[in-house]
Amino acid sequence: MDGIGESLRGALAGVLDGVSGRRAGGAVERLIGVYRGETPTDVPILRDRADVAAYAAYRMPATFAAVSSALGEFADAVPGWVPGSHLDIGGGTGAATWAVSATWAGTRPVTVLDWAEPALALGRELAAARPELRDVSWRRARIGAGLVVDDADLVTVSYVLGELTEDGRAAVVDAAASAGQAVVVVEPGTPDGYERVLAARARLIAAGFRIAAPCPHSAGCPIVPGTDWCHFAARVSRSALHRQIKGGSLAYEDEKFSYVAATRFPNEPAAARVVRRPQLRKGQVLLDLCEAQERLARVTVTKRHGDLYKAARDADWGDPWPPHDQGAPA
């Protein structure tokens, strides 16, 4: 995955050539509001080359990191399964397509659908940096009500539902469900993003899908509405544009995201999922878990648990628990 991430960053290195810093900054500020779900619309968000260049340089590495993280957890729940084809709905410049390639080796038929021709054009240009992505089909389509798509083993819908009206979101999720054997939906890790993922999750279950990740079950979410939201984080290197827009000095930031992965075929979800950063104490680790019993729980793992304690010290937010090679604490 690191090699493909480096290849993506290299392909993006010159994407802002010819676009002024002021123009790029203005486009990014507008896009930030869109991707936080503040301005749902029925028209393309990426309007021209400058918008697309700003989006790709600012958002594509973060989207790639978040989708890669979600796909990695999904892949763990479907060991041995490899998608034979991939459909990316609302894929823009193709970050999810890069993430799928990083998760499963080899080539496969891929179609990226988006309503912004400039985004598709830049996606095609960037994909030329990877041999396995050179034959991707980049097709213009209206993303929303009335969307009709071809069947695919894997359908991804990442960072697009927030751009749509409520009816448009339902239509896109239903189209993904009708086309895919597996569907992965990723949204920003905000309360609104989580609500969109939760609604997509419900529609997928109603369509006959089984939840593979992050949830350890396909029942109702145990979070009391309005009290919290389920989200995770992926570490992403900050570009010069990130630092310019946010005025930050750190070389990295954590991309917060919410997601759901579901399949029409049997899967092996985690026994439980770490839903907060583990808290390390002297001789013990506190883990906040979402458990298969449809509940949230805090588990304390101590030195007396031996190897499990070592695993707990290495556990991270979003990880399955216990690790696949460990038993539950007594």
Instruction: Write out the H or E segment, with its range, that includes residue 213.
Output: strand 210-213
Q: Residue 285 in contact with residue 325, Cβ under 8 Å?
A: no
Averaged pLDDT for residues 287-304: 95
Tell the CATH topology of 2-263: Rossmann fold (3.40.50)
CA distance 291 to 219: 11
Q: Residue 4 in contact with residue 98, Cβ under 8 Å?
A: yes
Give the pLDDT score at 79. Answer: 96
Residue 308 has pLDDT above 50, yes or no: yes
The two most distant CA atoms of the chain are separated, in Å, by 62
Tell whether omega for the bond before 278 is within 30 degrees of 0, i.e. cis: no
- Report the interhelical angle of 49-77 vs 95-103 (nearest 10°): 30
How confident is the model over 120-152, as pLDDT tens digits?
999 999 998 888 998 899 999 999 999 999 999
Closest C-alpha to 211, from 274, 159, 259: 259
Give the pLDDT score at 5. Answer: 83
Give the pLDDT score at 330. Answer: 47
How confident is the model over 313-329, as pLDDT tens digits?
999 999 999 986 565 55
Closest C-alpha to 184, from 61, 79, 74: 74
Instruction: For residue 39, give the DSSP letter.
Output: S
Residue 111: Cβ within 10 Å count: 20
Average per-residue pLDDT in the chain? 88
In percent, how much of the chain has pLDDT > 90?
68
| 35-44, 82-91, 184-193, 214-223: segment of lowest average pLDDT | 35-44
**CA distances in angstroms from 46 to 31, 70, 116, 122, listed in the order given:** 8, 25, 6, 11
Beta-bridge mates of residue 284: 281, 302
Q: Residue 279 in contact with residue 264, Cβ under 8 Å?
A: no
Beta-bridge mates of residue 235: 254
Residue 116 has pLDDT above 60, yes or no: yes
Give the pLDDT score at 86. Answer: 98
CA distance 70 to 99: 10
Residue 70 corresponds to which tokens in the numbers above? 């979600």
Burial tier of 83 (Cβ tally within 10 Å: 0-12, 13-18, 19+) = buried
Give the pLDDT score at 71. Answer: 98
Which residues have CB under 8 Å from 87's CB, separation 6+? Answer: 110, 111, 113, 149, 150, 152, 154, 155, 156, 176, 179, 180
Residue 259 has pLDDT above 60, yes or no: yes
The residue extents of the domains of the chain are 2-263, 272-321
Instruction: State the virtual CA torsion across 273, 275, 279, 285 in degrees, nearest 10.
Output: -20
CA distance 189 to 197: 10
Give the pLDDT score at 6. Answer: 83
| 11-20, 144-153, 304-313: segment of lowest average pLDDT | 11-20
Residue 38 has pLDDT above 50, yes or no: yes
How confident is the model over 189-244, as pLDDT tens digits?
999 999 999 999 999 999 999 999 999 999 999 999 889 999 999 998 766 656 66
CA distance 236 to 190: 17
